[in-house]
Amino acid sequence: MARLYLAIIIFGIIGGVGWFGYQYYVTSQNTIRTLTANNAKLETAVATSENTIASMERSAEELTNQLNFINEQYASIRRQNQRLAERLSNVDLGLAAQDAPDKIGIAVNAGTKNAGRCFEILSGSLLTEEERNAPDEITFNKECPWLWPGHSTE
């Protein structure tokens, strides 16, 4: 009978160890599945982040290029404004209007028309055939020669 109790105890111990081993196996497999799924999500998130960073770097480079272009254009406009100011400082419109009022009227009207066209071009208006075929900056438009397609930025 003692052997029977000993066999039951040994069988109980082996059964208990087997049951705990099975539970450990099931828990381990669930943990592995969870970690594998999380790893896949993490890899997707990393790839998305890397793509976002690359896109942001491209955008920053493009913005830098646009800023440089705008700064160059601004410097060119400042030079043109300085040239125009120098040109206008040499003209006394009041005196010229007294001497030749018809010529001044024609010149002012032409200048106003040219300046208006400058604003149209700067606002996105397409160049006319005559403007596209202009041989030089002055023929293109005396008020904004820097808008001529062949204009040098100097």
Q: What is the pLDDT of residues 96-116, one digit of tens each?
A: 777 778 887 888 888 889 888
DSSP state of 154: -
Question: What's the mean pLDDT when you consider all of the chain?
Answer: 87
The band of 152, judged by pLDDT with boundaries at 50, 70 and 90, is low
C-alpha to C-alpha distances, 29 to 20, 35, 37, 68, nearest whole angstrom: 14, 10, 12, 58
DSSP state of 147: G
Of 113, 120, 154, the C-alpha closest to 137 is: 154
Q: What is the pLDDT of residue 32?
A: 94
> What pTM was estimated for this model as a whole?
0.46
146 and 81 Cβ atoms separated by less than 8 Å: no
Q: Which two tokens stand for residue 1?
A: 């009978």
The band of 151, judged by pLDDT with boundaries at 50, 70 and 90, is low
Of 68 and 150, more confident: 68
Q: What is the pLDDT of residue 18?
A: 92
